[in-house]
Amino acid sequence: MPDDDLTLDEKAREEIHDLGPAQAVPSDEVAAAVIGRFPGTVFHDSHGQPVVYVERASWHDAAAFLRDDQQFTQCVDVTVVDHLHDSTRLAVAGVAPERFEVVANFLSHPRNRRIRIISAVPQSDTTIASIADLFPGVDFAEREAYDLLGVTFEGHPDLTRILLPDDWEGHPLRKDDFPARVPVTFKEDPGPR
């Protein structure tokens, strides 16, 4: 068969769905495999690191694919970015900008690779699937993002506040939350500073 002579990288590139005229072709075979597996994903190279923008509905499945099929055994971090007043925001072709982006960085020791997965989350529905069942180490990172930015991680085993008091209203790292409106007393803190 003619396809038998293709390398893994070339096979992954052949599986990529229609990228459109402005879409960059991934130079990384892991990013190409993610794009080939999940339609609607977009590749971007960020200073030499592959970044894949996945749809919110594919967030959990993309993380499972990286862990199970691509040997990414660690999710180093999960965080949320609020782009409410971001005038210098990077515009990636093929990615519809939303107020929030959930960002996860994955690491593969066997492959000596890193990859970043980003998913846009609209202000009107700030929910996304939790990946704590796949990568238990992100438990506290998801709780922190929920506490400080108000993004709900569906399926999280204990999605409760981690830094602020349980009766706190609002999310202080949102750019529309008013800074210094009241002094913040963190848990276990004797008083506001």
The domain locations on the chain are: 2-154
Classify 89 as helix, strand or coil: coil
Per residue in 50-92, pLDDT tens? 999 999 999 999 999 999 999 999 999 999 999 998 888 888 9
* Structure tokens belonging to residue 19: 């990228």
Q: Report the chain's mean pLDDT, rounded to a whole number.
A: 85
- Residue, of 187 and 115, whose pLDDT is higher: 115
Residue pair 131/71 in contact by the 8 Å Cβ criterion: no
Return d(Cα 48, Cα 28) in angstroms, integer. Answer: 10
Residue pair 22/41 in contact by the 8 Å Cβ criterion: no
Is domain 2-154 classified as CATH 3.30.460.80? yes
Instruction: Report yes or no on whether pTM surpasses 0.85.
Output: no
pLDDT of res. 192? 57
Cβ of 121: how many Cβ atoms within 10 Å?
21
